[in-house]
Structure 1
């Protein structure tokens, strides 16, 4: 057992934010932190996978991404667009023409982010991957993305399984010190993706365990993606989702950025 001051000294990296990607969120005290569970929830197609991929690849941190919800080719197109400024259609044309050297060179620089594309995230295989990662790099990944939590193997059914998955991921964050980022769905009322999603709009009652919960929606023109910090144990939050932080969004180029930096030229570094 430890006193609180001893706990502070022994915490290691737990609680430290991942390197800042979105200054507009960080400025409001909204950080994805190591050793903690972050939940990102939105309707299908709104951009939760794009947000997670942007954090994964632009933070510069080494990590692991379990992509059960998005196939390998789609993820390549998205990442390629993100780092070249081309559209995903342009990237696909380059693949068909076998002219991807420029894209591959940019993405190879992000090889410390390892990805798995199994359609079902089985716990034994997940843990094997993480131990293999640690053996290869000499440390646990700094973040672990689960895309999405419904694809994670768990005991029980329905809401019980979701709660068990949250408990498992919370413990995984404590064990590895990694920032755990799990993607999740919302209830049918918010499936249009164009209105704010409150904390009560999460599918299943799994809001108790995560330290940070972000819900997302887009405007009708899809030029803005709004992030609603509906739970944040270490900073500002609003469970009703009436407080939102807008980000500039270009879905064709997978460009997600602070409004103040949307005029900056791509590619990203």
Structure 2
């Protein structure tokens, strides 16, 4: 017999699992660490009302080479929050150089020379205490991401931060193609954040006109127009010059928990030393 209940179960395979019908008071008391803020790393961004929270989905979008991976790495390293980093876009050598420079204050060139001459004792010691675990698959599937997080949780509990760099590298044909597929993929990671109580951070691209990274990027400049689901969306562009010093400008184009400016012209200015992978402010 085909009932309304049966139809719902067919549309939603998990429909038959235990229900969670709660009052708000009950929900807040059983939430665990969901909603807890990640330790503040960038005061200028916090002053704009932007907070990274466990159990929520965050999107960081920028043109190539603008600094979104460096921003995510600085957030993970300086917050000292337990982190699972899916580094599809960058290989182990690149991330070792970046993290080594950030932790020691050396230039990336110094770190590369140390690796070349097999003189990494100091670097290895400095990096040994870093609370980041890595997956370097160039195109991880959703199954692989879930399995890696489950394995992480069996040892440490779910991570406070889960970074996916970049979301377009994820192998998810089941989500469909084009803009609709990306939007559905965001929905998947939003659900993942809720279930794991991790602050899930997706790194993403922008449309062609903003790829040079020199102008504020509005909410409409995000590639695929996937701004519907994430609680927080930040776009990054560069400021300054090689002679006067660079800065990284972070626009809060969506912020469900506070004020935002979809135009991108409201931004925090952070100090940016690319040669040492240091972002501060």
TM bucket (normalised to shorter chain) is: over 0.9
Name the residue aligned to 1:145: 163
- From 41, 46, 65, the equivalent of 2:61 is 41
Name the residue aligned to 2:266: 243
Structure 1 residue 220, shift from structure 2 partner: 4.8
- 1:1-269 equivalent positions in 2, closer than 5 A: 1-110=21-130, 112-137=131-156, 139-154=157-172, 155-221=175-241, 223-258=246-281
C-alpha contact (below 8 Å) 2:48/2:268 kept by paired residues: no
CA displacement, residues 100-125 of structure 1 (integer Å, 9 cap, x when unaligned): 11111111111x31001110021111
- What is the TM-score normalised by the length of structure 1? 0.93
- Aligned length in residues: 256
Structure 1 residue 98, shift from structure 2 partner: 1.0
Name the residue aligned to 1:261: none
Structure 1 residue 6, shift from structure 2 partner: 2.5
Larger Rg: 2
Structure 1 residue 44, shift from structure 2 partner: 0.1
Structure 1 residue 205, shift from structure 2 partner: 1.8
Give me the whole-angstrom Cα distance separating, in 1, the residues matched to 2:50 and 2:159.
21
- Which moves more between the two structures, 239-248 or 152-161? 152-161
Give me the whole-angstrom Cα distance separating, in 1, the residues matched to 2:31 and 2:72.
26
C-alpha contact (below 8 Å) 2:251/2:264 kept by paired residues: yes
The DSSP-based 3-state class of the residue aligned with 1:180 is strand
The DSSP-based 3-state class of the residue aligned with 2:60 is strand
CA displacement, residues 199-225 of structure 1 (integer Å, 9 cap, x when unaligned): 000001210100000000002516100
C-alpha contact (below 8 Å) 1:196/1:217 kept by paired residues: yes
**Structure 1 alignment gaps of length 5 or more:** 259-269
C-alpha contact (below 8 Å) 1:152/1:165 kept by paired residues: no
Structure 1 residue 29, shift from structure 2 partner: 1.8
The DSSP-based 3-state class of the residue aligned with 2:90 is coil
Give me the whole-angstrom Cα distance separating, in 2, the residues matched to 1:215 and 1:179.
17
The DSSP-based 3-state class of the residue aligned with 1:229 is strand
C-alpha contact (below 8 Å) 2:34/2:197 kept by paired residues: yes
**How big is the alpha-carbon RMSD for the aligned residues of Structure 1 and Structure 2?**
1.1
The DSSP-based 3-state class of the residue aligned with 1:219 is strand
The DSSP-based 3-state class of the residue aligned with 1:21 is coil
Give me the whole-angstrom Cα distance separating, in 1, the residues matched to 2:83 and 2:273.
25
The DSSP-based 3-state class of the residue aligned with 2:230 is coil
Name the residue aligned to 1:263: none
